[in-house]
């Protein structure tokens, strides 16, 4: 894979290509939904274009809990079909990109053995639905074993735990892997370019107008079929086709906070119960443990940076004192935080976002634009196939069943992530932590990333210099925020992300030819962003457990 179509330098050529071709399929939105559809369509040999208003994965698809999971709680609600599909899907994603589906223990602590035993029944069903292999079957941990596996758990309160397998991903990198794979199979993809009008000919949507956010160039892209895959923005983009389109979304906000692992020394993925009985995950990733999520109705429309309320942060911290034998943790201890908006399908029968189904829905607009919303990161391939079946029908081109689907970029290894990171550490003389970080982010491509730069760390930072060149040349990164937040993910997974900013900005300035003023303004923007992430607001616009009035699909 050359990835050169995603190089910042190739941008003008990409825009020229977008302007001259007549595509089979144009996808608006470069989150996991758009990226998944693009890859599937490109593998099927369709002429595909993807237009993303900000950065790839800059919407909900970089703000999730980062779990590739079937969702045990959906099983409790009887959504067996959904659970089976997503459970089986976990294995498929792991086959395509083992570095982006790291198999980990999900641990549910219990006070009493009887409670553990009763959950075993549900977990056994869950494992059967997901065809879980023998070595990955759940197990019970008690006494000494539990102490060894999760030493920070309060042993007086929690004497037992049930551990079952789930997969940890990196959502933004999963999007990038799909986008890059689509580009490698011929798709024309462009980020930082907003669709601002949908054009029709004889009543059929057949083109869009796009504005490049960097050059301000406006251009038209023609396509036989247009898919609106804009997540929380889906209704906004529908209105570009038809100003009167009706509301069908219920937007729910979820936040996560990251703490230093030294403050919350969790080893696996833990399930805690919040005061309101909701499940909260405590997820260990490198030097941090992140906690999430919340589920509150969001009433101020789609946005890239929803605010993070202090009350939500306190709600996430509340269970810690009950579960762990640790010093008190306060909002001031939080080192990273992110908020995302779930584009859920509204239901007139419930006002509680946690009770809304995570199913996806495909709607056809009055001039034929297809809009897709809802769903989960985990189910993105199934969603892509369903959308594509509809696209094929419109094109009058039957789709072949894909045989031997190629791995995602970096996913061509046997799944042993530890072995991969040990090899990287040995061959490039890197610390085990740095090697592990690179293996998780890039899979087998870590070797190419390292070859691009010096194998040393950028002075004063824990980012490897090759990572920045890689992000700019192969992953469509255009701004410091693109690199810091969605390529390296430093504010989410690293301590002291701030100290990386200057070295990364210097490397980006070299790669993209920024002058001093541009470099300073990029730095100021990201500093301000990181500051806002941790400046929790006290009067939030989200309402707990309510939905706006449903006006029908
Ligand atoms: P998005 O990722 O939001 O993508 C839409 C894109 O459209 C955006 O990038 C936006 O910039 C772009 N766009 C908008 N307007 C325009 C325009 N006019 N022109 C061009 N582009 C435009 N799922 C799981 O499976 N596992 C989890 O652990 C999990 N945890 C979650 C936790 C939280 C807090 C949340 C909020 C969701 C979670 N999900 C999880 C669900 C999952 O993250 C979402 O279902 C998924 O990311 C939605 O992706 P999307 O591509 O539809 O939307």
State the DSSP string of 211-268. Answer: EETTT--EEEEEEEEEEE--GGGHHHHHHHH-TTPPP-EEEEEEEEEEEETTTS---S
Average pLDDT over residues 68-89: 82
- The answer on pLDDT for 461 being more than 90 is no
- The answer on pLDDT for 198 being more than 70 is yes
Residue 319 Cβ inside 6 Å of ligand 1? The answer reads no
Task: Give the pLDDT band (50/70/90) at residue 455.
Answer: low
- The answer on pLDDT for 552 being more than 90 is no
Q: CA dihedral in degrees (334, 250, 90, 141; nearest 10)?
A: 50
CA dist list (Å): 35 to 80, 185, 270, 384: 27, 13, 30, 9
Cα 208 to middle of ligand 1, angstroms: 21
- The answer on pLDDT for 249 being more than 70 is yes
The pLDDT of residue 549 is 37
Task: Give the pLDDT band (50/70/90) at residue 46.
Answer: very high
The pLDDT of residue 51 is 98
The pLDDT of residue 352 is 75
The pLDDT of residue 540 is 58
Residue 371 Cβ inside 6 Å of ligand 1? The answer reads no
Residue 369 CA to residue 227 CA, distance in Å, equals 6
Q: What is the CATH code for 417-537?
A: 1.10.8.870
Average pLDDT over residues 326-350: 92
Give the pair of three-digit tokens for residue 353: 């976002």
Q: Contact, 162 vs 116, CB < 8 A?
A: yes
Q: Helices 501-512 and 516-534 meet at what angle, rounded to 10?
A: 140
Query: Residue 161: beta bridge partners?
Result: 109, 141
- Mean pLDDT across the chain: 92
Residue 377 Cβ inside 6 Å of ligand 1? The answer reads yes
Query: Residue 397: beta bridge partners?
Result: none
Task: Give the pLDDT band (50/70/90) at residue 551.
Answer: very low
Residue 212 CA to residue 8 CA, distance in Å, equals 13
Residue 269 Cβ inside 6 Å of ligand 1? The answer reads no
- The answer on pLDDT for 137 being more than 90 is yes
Residue 70 Cβ inside 6 Å of ligand 1? The answer reads no
Task: Give the pLDDT band (50/70/90) at residue 462.
Answer: low
Residue 96 CA to residue 415 CA, distance in Å, equals 10
* Third-level CATH fold of 4-61+172-246+355-395: FAD/NAD(P)-binding domain (3.50.50)
Tokens 């890039």 correspond to 442
CA dist list (Å): 524 to 57, 341, 498, 531: 22, 26, 11, 10
Average pLDDT over residues 60-69: 97
Residue 526 CA to residue 123 CA, distance in Å, equals 43
Average pLDDT over residues 443-453: 92
Q: What are phi and psi of 161, to 5 degrees?
A: -155, 150
CA dist list (Å): 513 to 152, 274, 446: 48, 49, 25
The pLDDT of residue 541 is 53
Ligand 1 pocket test: pick from 104, 233, 252, 313 the residue with the most ligand atoms within 8 Å of its Cβ: 233
Task: Give the pLDDT band (50/70/90) at residue 82.
Answer: confident
Q: Contact, 36 vs 384, CB < 8 A?
A: yes
Average pLDDT over residues 390-408: 91
User: How do residues 83-124 score in pLDDT, each as one tens digit?
Assistant: 888 889 999 999 999 999 999 999 999 999 888 888 898 899
Residue 443 Cβ inside 6 Å of ligand 1? The answer reads no
Asked if the domains 4-61+172-246+355-395 and 103-169+250-354 are classified in one and the same CATH topology, the answer is: no
Residue 475 CA to residue 129 CA, distance in Å, equals 36
Average pLDDT over residues 36-48: 97
Report domain extents, the chain. Answer: 4-61+172-246+355-395, 103-169+250-354, 417-537
Residue 113 CA to residue 212 CA, distance in Å, equals 59
Cα 351 to middle of ligand 1, angstroms: 22
Where is mean pLDDT largest: 501-505, 506-510, 516-520? 516-520
CA dist list (Å): 404 to 92, 95, 187, 407: 12, 11, 20, 9
| DSSP one-letter string for 146-210 | HHHH-TTB-TTT--EEEEEEEEE--HHHHHHHHHHHHHHTT-EEESSEEEEEEEEETTEEEEEEE
- The answer on pLDDT for 196 being more than 90 is yes
Residue 64 Cβ inside 6 Å of ligand 1? The answer reads yes
- The answer on pLDDT for 262 being more than 70 is yes
Cα 374 to middle of ligand 1, angstroms: 9
Cα 31 to middle of ligand 1, angstroms: 5
- The answer on pLDDT for 399 being more than 90 is no
- The answer on pLDDT for 244 being more than 70 is yes
Residue 62 Cβ inside 6 Å of ligand 1? The answer reads no
Q: Of all helices (H) and strands (E), which one includes residue 102?
A: strand 102-110
Q: Which residue's alpha carbon is at the smallest distance from atom 32 of ligand 1?
A: 64
pTM over 0.85: yes
Q: What is the CATH code for 103-169+250-354?
A: 3.30.9.10
Q: Helices 501-512 and 465-474 meet at what angle, rounded to 10?
A: 40
- The answer on pLDDT for 281 being more than 80 is yes
Residue 53 Cβ inside 6 Å of ligand 1? The answer reads yes
Is the backbone of residue 283 left (phi > 0), alpha (psi -120 to 50) or beta?
beta
Residue 476 Cβ inside 6 Å of ligand 1? The answer reads no
- The answer on pLDDT for 246 being more than 90 is no
The pLDDT of residue 349 is 73
Task: Give the pLDDT band (50/70/90) at residue 248.
Answer: confident
- The answer on pLDDT for 157 being more than 80 is yes
Q: For residues 121 and 390, which has the higher predicted lDDT (pLDDT)? A: 390
Cα 553 to middle of ligand 1, angstroms: 20
Residue 457 CA to residue 467 CA, distance in Å, equals 10
The pLDDT of residue 303 is 96
The pLDDT of residue 240 is 97
DSSP, collapsed to helix, strand or coil, labels residue 356 as coil
The pLDDT of residue 401 is 79
- The answer on pLDDT for 194 being more than 90 is yes
Residue 468 CA to residue 8 CA, distance in Å, equals 12
Q: Which residue's alpha carbon is at the smallest distance from atom 4 of ligand 1?
A: 31
Q: Of all helices (H) and strands (E), which one includes residue 439?
A: helix 432-442
Ligand 1 pocket test: pick from 33, 59, 82 the residue with the most ligand atoms within 8 Å of its Cβ: 59
User: How do residues 3-17 score in pLDDT, each as one tens digit?
Assistant: 478 998 899 999 999
Task: Give the pLDDT band (50/70/90) at residue 547.
Answer: very low
Chain-centroid distance, C-alpha 223: 27
Q: Which residue's alpha carbon is at the smallest distance from atom 38 of ligand 1?
A: 64
DSSP, collapsed to helix, strand or coil, labels residue 442 as helix
Instruction: Report whether the peptide linkage leading into residue 293 is cis, meaning its omega lies within 30 degrees of zero.
Output: yes
DSSP, collapsed to helix, strand or coil, labels residue 297 as strand
Residue 238 Cβ inside 6 Å of ligand 1? The answer reads no
Beta-strand relationship, 370-374 and 218-228 = parallel
Length of the chain: 553
Q: What percent of the chain has pLDDT over 90?
A: 78
The pLDDT of residue 460 is 57
Ligand 1 pocket test: pick from 38, 291, 377, 386 the residue with the most ligand atoms within 8 Å of its Cβ: 377
Q: What percent of the chain has pLDDT over 70?
A: 94
User: How do residues 352-361 score in pLDDT, each as one tens digit?
Assistant: 777 677 778 8
Ligand 1 pocket test: pick from 230, 358, 382 the residue with the most ligand atoms within 8 Å of its Cβ: 230
């Amino acid at each position: 894979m050359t990835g050169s179509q995603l190089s910042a330098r190739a941008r003008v050529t990409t825009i020229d290509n977008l302007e001259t071709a007549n595509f089979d399929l144009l996808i608006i939105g470069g989150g996991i939904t758009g990226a998944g559809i693009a890859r599937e369509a490109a593998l099927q040999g369709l002429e595909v274009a993807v237009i993303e208003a900000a950065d790839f994965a800059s919407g909900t698809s970089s703000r999730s809990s980062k779990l590739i999971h079937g969702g045990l709680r959906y099983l409790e609600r009887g959504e067996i079909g959904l659970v089976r599909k997503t459970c089986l899907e976990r294995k498929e994603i792991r086959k395509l990109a083992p570095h982006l589906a790291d198999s980990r223990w999900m641990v549910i602590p219990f006070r009493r053995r009887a409670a553990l035993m009763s959950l075993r029944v549900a977990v056994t069903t869950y494992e059967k639905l997901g065809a879980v292999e023998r070595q990955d079957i759940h197990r019970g941990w008690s006494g000494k074993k539990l102490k060894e596996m999760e030493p920070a758990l309060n042993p007086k309160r929690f004497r037992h735990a049930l551990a079952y397998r789930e997969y940890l991903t990196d959502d933004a990198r999963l999007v990038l892997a799909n986008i890059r794979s689509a580009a490698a199979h011929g798709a024309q993809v462009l980020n930082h370019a907003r669709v601002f009008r949908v054009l029709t000919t004889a009543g059929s949507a057949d083109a869009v107008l796009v504005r490049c956010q960097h050059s301000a160039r406006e251009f038209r892209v023609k396509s036989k079929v247009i898919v609106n895959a804009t997540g929380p923005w889906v209704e906004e983009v529908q209105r570009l086709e038809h100003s009167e389109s009706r509301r069908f979304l219920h937007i729910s906000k979820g936040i996560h906070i990251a703490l230093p692992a030294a403050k919350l020394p969790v080893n696996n993925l833990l399930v805690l119960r919040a005061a309101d009985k909701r499940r909260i995950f405590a997820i260990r990733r490198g030097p941090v443990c992140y906690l999430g999520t919340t589920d509150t109705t969001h009433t101020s429309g789609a946005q890239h940076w929803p605010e993070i309320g202090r009350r939500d942060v306190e709600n996430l911290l509340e269970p810690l004192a009950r579960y762990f034998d640790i010093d008190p943790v306060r909002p001031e201890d939080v080192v990273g935080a992110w908020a995302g908006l779930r584009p859920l399908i509204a239901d007139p029968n419930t006002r509680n976002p946690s009770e809304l189904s995570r199913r996806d829905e495909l709607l056809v607009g009055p001039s034929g634009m297809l809009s897709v919303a809802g769903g989960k990161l985990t189910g993105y391939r199934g969603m892509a196939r369903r959308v594509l079946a509809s696209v094929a029908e419109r094109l009058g081109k039957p789709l072949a069943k894909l045989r031997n689907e190629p791995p995602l970029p970096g996913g061509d290894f046997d799944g042993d992530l530890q072995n991969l990171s040990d090899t990287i550490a040995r061959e490039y003389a890197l610390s085990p932590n740095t090697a592990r970080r690179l293996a998780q982010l890039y899979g087998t491509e870590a070797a190419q990333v390292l070859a691009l730069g010096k194998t040393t760390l950028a002075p004063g930072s824990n980012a490897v210099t090759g990572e920045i060149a890689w992000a700019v040349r192969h992953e469509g990164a255009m701004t410091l925020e693109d690199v810091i937040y969605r390529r390296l993910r430093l504010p989410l997974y690293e301590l002291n992300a701030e100290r990386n900013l200057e070295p990364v900005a210097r490397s980006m300035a070299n790669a993209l030819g920024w002058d001093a003023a541009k470099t300073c303004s990029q730095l100021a923007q990201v500093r301000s962003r990181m500051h806002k992430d941790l400046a929790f607001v006290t009067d939030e616009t989200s309402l707990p457990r309510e939905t706006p009035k449903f006006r029908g699909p």
